[in-house]
């Protein structure tokens, strides 16, 4: 029930970090992976690595902020592979601007990528997904708590994803048979965490009950589960993977 044999999974933000971990885990579980991101050169590198290991992969340069590009991604995947069974809405942008100095452009940019872009792509995929398909929105523990950084736009966008997840699960459950869930990761080693100020992660470590950063493979395993038949009766939920950060 945990296998994804011959299922086609669209993974956004797949040129680095958690997106690569998700793509690899889905491929290892038997899935076909459609890699989407803005950076075509990085996409090509990831695809070459996965293909060298025998996995089926497609690449699609896409800026999810543009609804037309989201539709183009879906059209391209349907033409190449014939169906879309899984969407991992992983593309995201993080900033740390103090609220009194954050400009409208800075705030809107984060909302556009993290929330609006996820919606446009879910909408485009939802039109072609068959019953039994799965959408996984990648939120954050910052949708549920704070962590000492000025991240109003990021936190708002990730909290918005949780509301979007619940509503789409309600709309598309009985009517279309599509499951929609979210994951809320804590601190994992990614390009985003590399941008944190020196000492920040060390300062947060006492709040992580397991006393370590997460391994991206641990988060990817949850995504594979949500994509598979093993989670066939799970929808509208937020799965927190944070080593206990949100309860400390």
Q: Which residues are catalytic?
A: 154
Structure tokens at 202: 């060390």
* Nearest alpha-carbon partner for 226 in 245, 212, 241: 241
Q: Rounded to whole angstroms, what are the CA distances from 41 to 5, 48, 61, 79, 205? A: 28, 11, 9, 22, 35
- H or E segment to which residue 24 belongs: helix 17-28
Q: Which residue in this structure is represented by tokens 């397991």?
A: 210
φ/ψ region of 184 (left if φ > 0, alpha if ψ in -120 to 50, else beta) reads beta
Number of Cβ within a 10 Å radius of residue 163: 12
Contact criterion met (CB below 8 Å) for 245 and 209: yes
- Distance (Å, rounded) from C-alpha 147 to C-alpha 123? 31
């Amino acid at each position: 029930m945990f296998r994804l044999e011959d299922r086609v999974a669209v993974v956004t933000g797949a040129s680095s970090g958690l997106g690569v971990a998700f793509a690899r885990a889905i491929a290892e579980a038997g899935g076909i992976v459609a890699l989407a991101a803005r950076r075509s050169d990085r996409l090509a590198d990831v695809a070459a690595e996965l293909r060298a290991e025998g996995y089926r992969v497609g690449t699609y340069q896409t800026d999810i902020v543009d609804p037309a590009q989201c539709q183009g991604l879906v059209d391209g995947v349907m033409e190449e592979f014939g169906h879309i069974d899984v969407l991992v809405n992983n593309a995201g942008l993080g900033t740390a601007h103090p609220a009194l100095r954050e400009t409208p452009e800075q705030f809107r940019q984060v909302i556009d990528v993290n929330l609006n872009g996820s919606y446009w792509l879910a909408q485009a995929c939802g039109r072609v997904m068959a019953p039994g398909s799965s959408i996984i929105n990648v939120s954050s523990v910052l949708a549920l708590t704070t962590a000492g950084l000025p991240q109003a736009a990021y936190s708002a966008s990730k909290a918005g994803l949780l509301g979007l997840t619940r509503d789409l699960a309600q709309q598309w459950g009985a009517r279309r048979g599509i499951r929609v869930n979210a994951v809320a990761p804590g601190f994992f080693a990614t390009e985003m965490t590399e941008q944190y100020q020196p000492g920040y992660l060390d300062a947060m470590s006492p709040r992580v009950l397991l006393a370590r950063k997460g391994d991206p493979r641990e988060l990817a395993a949850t995504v594979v589960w949500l994509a598979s038949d093993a989670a066939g009766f799970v929808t509208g939920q937020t799965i927190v993977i944070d080593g206990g950060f949100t309860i400390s």
